Amino acid sequence: MTKKITFFALLWLAVFSVSQAQVKVVAHRGYWKVAGSAQNSLAAFAKADSIGAFGSEFDVWMTADGKLVVNHDGTFKGVSMEKGTLSEIRKIRLDNGEQLPTLDEYLKSMLNKPNTRVVLEMKSLSNLSREDEAAQKIVKALKKYKLLNRTDIIAFSINACLAFKKLLPDTKIYYLDGDLSPRKIKNLGLAGIDYSMNALRQHPEWVEESHKLGLEVNVWTVNKEEDMKYFIELGVDIITTDQPEELQKLLR
Protein backbone atom coordinates (compact mmCIF):
# COMPACT_ATOMS: atom_id res chain seq x y z
CA MET A 1 0.00 0.00 0.00
CA THR A 2 2.72 2.44 1.05
CA LYS A 3 4.68 1.48 -2.04
CA LYS A 4 1.65 2.18 -4.19
CA ILE A 5 1.14 5.57 -2.61
CA THR A 6 4.83 6.41 -3.01
CA PHE A 7 4.66 5.34 -6.66
CA PHE A 8 1.69 7.56 -7.40
CA ALA A 9 3.19 10.45 -5.46
CA LEU A 10 6.36 10.16 -7.52
CA LEU A 11 4.37 9.84 -10.74
CA TRP A 12 2.36 12.92 -9.87
CA LEU A 13 5.55 14.80 -9.04
CA ALA A 14 7.15 13.73 -12.34
CA VAL A 15 4.13 14.74 -14.41
CA PHE A 16 3.75 17.98 -12.50
CA SER A 17 7.42 18.94 -12.84
CA VAL A 18 7.36 18.17 -16.57
CA SER A 19 4.32 20.38 -17.03
CA GLN A 20 6.03 23.08 -14.98
CA ALA A 21 9.27 22.84 -16.91
CA GLN A 22 7.43 23.58 -20.10
CA VAL A 23 6.19 26.97 -18.97
CA LYS A 24 8.27 29.76 -20.44
CA VAL A 25 8.91 33.06 -18.68
CA VAL A 26 8.54 36.33 -20.55
CA ALA A 27 9.54 39.55 -18.80
CA HIS A 28 6.75 42.11 -19.31
CA ARG A 29 8.19 45.39 -20.69
CA GLY A 30 11.57 43.83 -19.93
CA TYR A 31 12.78 43.18 -16.40
CA TRP A 32 12.24 46.58 -14.89
CA LYS A 33 11.59 45.97 -11.19
CA VAL A 34 15.30 46.03 -10.40
CA ALA A 35 17.80 48.79 -9.69
CA GLY A 36 18.94 50.70 -12.75
CA SER A 37 16.07 49.52 -14.91
CA ALA A 38 12.83 51.06 -16.20
CA GLN A 39 9.94 49.76 -18.29
CA ASN A 40 10.88 49.32 -21.94
CA SER A 41 14.43 50.53 -21.39
CA LEU A 42 17.52 49.00 -22.99
CA ALA A 43 18.51 48.03 -19.44
CA ALA A 44 15.21 46.14 -19.03
CA PHE A 45 15.98 43.89 -22.00
CA ALA A 46 19.53 43.37 -20.71
CA LYS A 47 18.26 42.46 -17.21
CA ALA A 48 15.75 39.96 -18.65
CA ASP A 49 18.61 38.45 -20.63
CA SER A 50 20.87 38.37 -17.55
CA ILE A 51 18.42 36.19 -15.57
CA GLY A 52 17.91 33.80 -18.47
CA ALA A 53 14.29 34.70 -19.17
CA PHE A 54 12.85 32.91 -22.20
CA GLY A 55 11.81 36.24 -23.68
CA SER A 56 11.56 39.96 -23.08
CA GLU A 57 8.47 41.87 -24.18
CA PHE A 58 8.36 45.51 -25.28
CA ASP A 59 5.92 47.94 -26.94
CA VAL A 60 6.31 49.84 -30.19
CA TRP A 61 4.60 53.05 -31.34
CA MET A 62 4.94 55.02 -34.56
CA THR A 63 5.51 58.77 -34.17
CA ALA A 64 3.77 61.54 -36.15
CA ASP A 65 6.75 61.60 -38.50
CA GLY A 66 6.65 57.86 -39.09
CA LYS A 67 9.49 56.73 -36.80
CA LEU A 68 9.33 53.74 -34.48
CA VAL A 69 9.89 54.15 -30.75
CA VAL A 70 9.76 51.79 -27.77
CA ASN A 71 7.38 52.75 -24.97
CA HIS A 72 4.20 51.50 -23.35
CA ASP A 73 1.98 54.51 -22.72
CA GLY A 74 0.26 56.37 -25.55
CA THR A 75 1.07 59.58 -23.74
CA PHE A 76 4.22 59.48 -21.65
CA LYS A 77 5.52 62.35 -19.52
CA GLY A 78 3.10 64.66 -21.32
CA VAL A 79 4.09 63.71 -24.87
CA SER A 80 1.87 61.72 -27.25
CA MET A 81 3.72 58.87 -28.95
CA GLU A 82 1.56 59.17 -32.07
CA LYS A 83 1.15 62.94 -32.27
CA GLY A 84 4.66 63.82 -31.18
CA THR A 85 7.61 63.89 -33.54
CA LEU A 86 10.71 61.79 -33.03
CA SER A 87 12.73 64.77 -31.86
CA GLU A 88 10.09 65.68 -29.26
CA ILE A 89 9.86 62.11 -28.02
CA ARG A 90 13.63 61.66 -27.87
CA LYS A 91 13.82 64.44 -25.30
CA ILE A 92 12.04 62.16 -22.83
CA ARG A 93 14.12 60.42 -20.20
CA LEU A 94 12.96 57.13 -18.76
CA ASP A 95 12.94 56.69 -14.98
CA ASN A 96 16.43 55.13 -15.08
CA GLY A 97 17.84 58.14 -16.95
CA GLU A 98 17.96 56.49 -20.39
CA GLN A 99 16.75 58.39 -23.40
CA LEU A 100 13.44 56.93 -24.65
CA PRO A 101 14.72 54.35 -27.16
CA THR A 102 14.04 54.08 -30.87
CA LEU A 103 13.16 50.62 -32.14
CA ASP A 104 16.42 50.65 -34.05
CA GLU A 105 18.45 51.17 -30.86
CA TYR A 106 16.40 48.59 -29.02
CA LEU A 107 16.94 45.89 -31.64
CA LYS A 108 20.62 46.73 -31.99
CA SER A 109 21.09 46.23 -28.23
CA MET A 110 19.89 42.64 -28.62
CA LEU A 111 22.60 41.56 -30.98
CA ASN A 112 25.00 40.58 -28.20
CA LYS A 113 22.17 38.88 -26.24
CA PRO A 114 21.32 36.04 -28.57
CA ASN A 115 19.56 33.80 -26.05
CA THR A 116 16.58 35.95 -25.22
CA ARG A 117 13.49 35.80 -27.38
CA VAL A 118 12.23 39.08 -28.77
CA VAL A 119 8.54 39.60 -27.95
CA LEU A 120 7.50 42.67 -29.90
CA GLU A 121 4.11 44.26 -29.25
CA MET A 122 2.87 46.73 -31.81
CA LYS A 123 0.42 49.11 -30.17
CA SER A 124 -2.93 49.79 -31.85
CA LEU A 125 -2.55 53.01 -33.85
CA SER A 126 -5.08 55.75 -34.69
CA ASN A 127 -5.92 54.34 -38.10
CA LEU A 128 -5.45 51.15 -40.05
CA SER A 129 -3.18 52.60 -42.74
CA ARG A 130 -0.79 53.81 -40.04
CA GLU A 131 -0.83 50.30 -38.60
CA ASP A 132 0.00 48.81 -41.99
CA GLU A 133 2.82 51.31 -42.43
CA ALA A 134 4.20 50.60 -38.95
CA ALA A 135 4.05 46.84 -39.54
CA GLN A 136 6.07 47.23 -42.74
CA LYS A 137 8.66 49.36 -40.99
CA ILE A 138 8.92 46.96 -38.05
CA VAL A 139 9.48 44.01 -40.40
CA LYS A 140 12.16 45.95 -42.23
CA ALA A 141 13.95 46.69 -38.94
CA LEU A 142 13.75 43.06 -37.77
CA LYS A 143 15.22 41.94 -41.09
CA LYS A 144 17.97 44.53 -40.90
CA TYR A 145 19.15 43.08 -37.58
CA LYS A 146 18.46 39.47 -38.61
CA LEU A 147 16.24 38.96 -35.59
CA LEU A 148 13.28 37.27 -37.24
CA ASN A 149 14.29 33.76 -36.20
CA ARG A 150 13.86 34.68 -32.53
CA THR A 151 11.02 37.17 -32.69
CA ASP A 152 7.37 36.72 -31.75
CA ILE A 153 4.90 39.47 -32.59
CA ILE A 154 1.88 40.36 -30.47
CA ALA A 155 -0.92 42.90 -31.00
CA PHE A 156 -4.38 43.87 -29.78
CA SER A 157 -5.33 45.00 -33.27
CA ILE A 158 -6.47 42.15 -35.47
CA ASN A 159 -5.61 44.36 -38.45
CA ALA A 160 -2.02 44.57 -37.23
CA CYS A 161 -1.86 40.79 -36.63
CA LEU A 162 -3.02 40.15 -40.20
CA ALA A 163 -0.67 42.78 -41.66
CA PHE A 164 2.25 40.99 -39.98
CA LYS A 165 0.96 37.60 -41.04
CA LYS A 166 0.96 38.73 -44.66
CA LEU A 167 4.50 40.10 -44.42
CA LEU A 168 5.90 37.28 -42.28
CA PRO A 169 4.00 34.06 -42.91
CA ASP A 170 6.53 32.01 -40.89
CA THR A 171 6.75 34.24 -37.81
CA LYS A 172 4.66 33.49 -34.73
CA ILE A 173 1.97 36.11 -34.27
CA TYR A 174 -0.28 36.14 -31.22
CA TYR A 175 -3.48 38.08 -30.66
CA LEU A 176 -3.90 39.93 -27.36
CA ASP A 177 -7.46 41.17 -27.06
CA GLY A 178 -9.04 38.11 -25.44
CA ASP A 179 -12.29 38.07 -27.41
CA LEU A 180 -11.61 35.46 -30.10
CA SER A 181 -11.85 31.70 -29.57
CA PRO A 182 -8.89 29.47 -30.44
CA ARG A 183 -10.83 28.18 -33.46
CA LYS A 184 -11.09 31.73 -34.85
CA ILE A 185 -7.40 32.37 -34.18
CA LYS A 186 -6.51 29.14 -35.97
CA ASN A 187 -8.65 30.13 -38.96
CA LEU A 188 -6.82 33.45 -39.15
CA GLY A 189 -3.50 31.60 -39.33
CA LEU A 190 -2.09 33.03 -36.09
CA ALA A 191 0.22 31.11 -33.75
CA GLY A 192 -1.85 31.42 -30.62
CA ILE A 193 -3.59 33.48 -28.00
CA ASP A 194 -1.85 35.88 -25.65
CA TYR A 195 -4.70 36.80 -23.33
CA SER A 196 -5.15 38.59 -20.03
CA MET A 197 -5.63 36.59 -16.85
CA ASN A 198 -9.28 37.69 -16.74
CA ALA A 199 -10.01 36.60 -20.30
CA LEU A 200 -8.41 33.22 -19.71
CA ARG A 201 -10.08 32.69 -16.32
CA GLN A 202 -13.42 33.16 -18.12
CA HIS A 203 -12.43 30.53 -20.67
CA PRO A 204 -10.04 28.07 -19.03
CA GLU A 205 -11.12 25.52 -21.67
CA TRP A 206 -9.36 27.65 -24.30
CA VAL A 207 -6.00 26.29 -23.13
CA GLU A 208 -6.82 22.71 -24.06
CA GLU A 209 -8.72 23.82 -27.15
CA SER A 210 -5.69 25.79 -28.30
CA HIS A 211 -3.36 22.85 -27.79
CA LYS A 212 -5.65 20.54 -29.75
CA LEU A 213 -5.51 23.04 -32.61
CA GLY A 214 -1.71 23.30 -32.41
CA LEU A 215 -1.83 26.82 -30.98
CA GLU A 216 0.15 28.20 -28.05
CA VAL A 217 -1.19 30.03 -25.02
CA ASN A 218 0.46 32.99 -23.35
CA VAL A 219 -1.12 34.77 -20.37
CA TRP A 220 -0.45 38.26 -18.96
CA THR A 221 0.33 39.93 -16.62
CA VAL A 222 0.75 37.33 -13.91
CA ASN A 223 2.51 38.76 -10.87
CA LYS A 224 1.06 36.99 -7.81
CA GLU A 225 2.25 33.57 -6.79
CA GLU A 226 -1.29 32.17 -6.51
CA ASP A 227 -2.06 33.29 -10.06
CA MET A 228 1.23 31.88 -11.34
CA LYS A 229 0.32 28.51 -9.78
CA TYR A 230 -3.18 28.62 -11.26
CA PHE A 231 -1.94 29.18 -14.81
CA ILE A 232 0.93 26.70 -14.48
CA GLU A 233 -1.58 24.06 -13.48
CA LEU A 234 -3.95 25.13 -16.25
CA GLY A 235 -1.14 24.22 -18.66
CA VAL A 236 -0.36 27.50 -20.41
CA ASP A 237 2.82 27.58 -22.50
CA ILE A 238 4.08 31.04 -21.63
CA ILE A 239 3.55 33.39 -18.69
CA THR A 240 4.25 37.08 -19.09
CA THR A 241 5.12 38.72 -15.79
CA ASP A 242 6.63 41.75 -14.08
CA GLN A 243 8.20 39.28 -11.61
CA PRO A 244 10.25 36.97 -13.84
CA GLU A 245 12.66 35.87 -11.09
CA GLU A 246 9.81 34.91 -8.74
CA LEU A 247 8.21 32.87 -11.49
CA GLN A 248 11.53 31.20 -12.28
CA LYS A 249 11.92 30.30 -8.59
CA LEU A 250 8.45 28.82 -8.51
CA LEU A 251 9.16 26.76 -11.61
CA ARG A 252 12.42 25.36 -10.22
Q: Shortest gap between Cβ of 57 and Mg ion (angstroms)?
A: 6
| Strand, helix or coil for residue 14 | helix
Distance CA 197, CA 227 (A): 8
Q: Does residue 158 sit in helix, strand or coil?
A: helix
Size of the site for Mg ion (CB under 5 A): 2
Minimum separation from the CB atom of position 5 to Mg ion (A): 46
194 touching Mg ion, by CB under 5 A: no
Nearest in space to 196 (alpha carbons), one of 151, 250, 252, 236: 236
DSSP for 45-76 reads HHHHHHTT-SEEEEEEEE-TTS-EEE-S-SEE
We find the least distance from the C-beta atom of residue 46 to Mg ion, in angstroms, to be: 18
| Stretch near Mg ion under the rule CB under 5 A, chosen from 39-47, 116-124, 162-170, 202-210 | 116-124
Smallest gap from Cβ 9 to Mg ion, in A, equals 40
Q: In this structure, what is the dihedral angle of CA atoms 215, 216, 220, 223, given to the nearest 10 degrees?
A: 150
Q: Which residues contact 32 (CB under 8 A, 6 or more apart)?
A: 38, 39, 40, 41, 44, 47, 242
| Binding segment (CB under 5 A) for Mg ion, from list 101-109, 117-125, 138-146, 187-195 | 117-125
User: What separation in angstroms does the CA of 146 have from each of 137, 140, 167, 172, 224?
Assistant: 14, 10, 15, 16, 35
Nearer to Mg ion, 63 or 124 (CB): 124
Among 98, 121, 152, 216, binds Mg ion (CB under 5 A): 121
- Is residue 132 a contact residue for Mg ion (CB under 5 A)? no
Stretch that binds Mg ion, among 8-16, 32-40, 42-50, 121-129 (CB under 5 A): 121-129
Question: What residues are annotated to the active site?
Answer: 28, 72
Taking a C-beta distance cutoff of 8 angstroms, is the pair 66, 133 a contact?
yes
Q: List the one residue from 59, 132, 152, 209 that touches Mg ion (CB under 5 A).
A: 59
Of 53-61, 140-148, 211-219, 240-248: span binding Mg ion (CB under 5 A): 53-61
Task: Summarize as ranges the residues that interact with Mg ion (CB under 5 A).
Answer: 59, 121
